[in-house]
Amino acid sequence: QVQLVESGGGVVQPGRSLRLSCAASGFTFRNYAMHWVRQAPGKGLEWVAVISYDGSNKNYPDSVKGRLTISRDNSKNTVYLQMNSLRGDDTAIYYCARDRGIQFWLGHFDLWGQGTLVTVSS
Amino acid sequence: DFQMTQSPSSVSASVGDRVTITCRASQDIGRWLVWYQQKPGKAPKLLIYAASTLQSGVPSRFSGSGSGTDFTLTISSLQPEDFATYYCQQSNTIPWTFGRGTKVEIK
């Protein structure tokens, strides 16, 4: 079954760190760039990170650059999001998503996980 | 960053109606425009990419058009399962950005 399953969300205090995981199955994970996209409660979608199929290239919007780090382990079919110095406006559902391109990114997403909620609050 | 402006923000329609949603980019994005559907409590679903190409498995009542800065998503005959929020996204330039969404509600 082709799917992405996120984990690692929860309640965290401002300034602390959290690591999210996304386990892929049912497709050749090492061929695809992967993304994280977030959605604040009741709000729209915001792309926050991409990693190339082999992990050699990464990119982020300025809003998270320096605080969020994406990584992957192709031997475990898993992509991660390390979140440091968390702030209240990082509160959101975090979705892991697969890029539609194979071995290059197209910047849009054809497979999504169910999401994991991160709440930043004291 | 490329700003994406969707209109309307919400629309009330009945089953069988034709519904059109527009999306305007702040700069020319060619045909690098994507549409998603999101239902409450669920992840978004890819509907259309490259402005007008239907993703596999998406019903043909959905169609997309446009290029440059102006784009439309049309649902030719609204079905009960189509009541949802629709987002456009530009995939032309990093950072990839989304519109604020259009909620299609039952009239």
Residues 87-106 of B with CB under 8 A from A: 87, 89, 91-92, 94-101
pLDDT band at B37 (very low <50, low <70, confident <90, very high): very high
Low-confidence ranges of chain A (pLDDT < 50): none
Q: Burial level of B6, CB count in 10 A (0-12/13-18/19+)?
A: buried
Q: Assess B66–A contact: CB distance below 8 Å, yes or no.
A: no
Q: Assess A66–B contact: CB distance below 8 Å, yes or no.
A: no
Can you give the pLDDT at residue B21? 98
CA distance A71 to A73: 7
* Total residue length of chain B: 107
CA distance A20 to B45: 21
Shortest CB distance from B87 goes to which of A45, A62, A106? A45
pLDDT tens figures, B50-100: 999 999 999 999 999 999 999 999 999 999 999 999 999 999 999 999 999
Q: Assess A26–B contact: CB distance below 8 Å, yes or no.
A: no
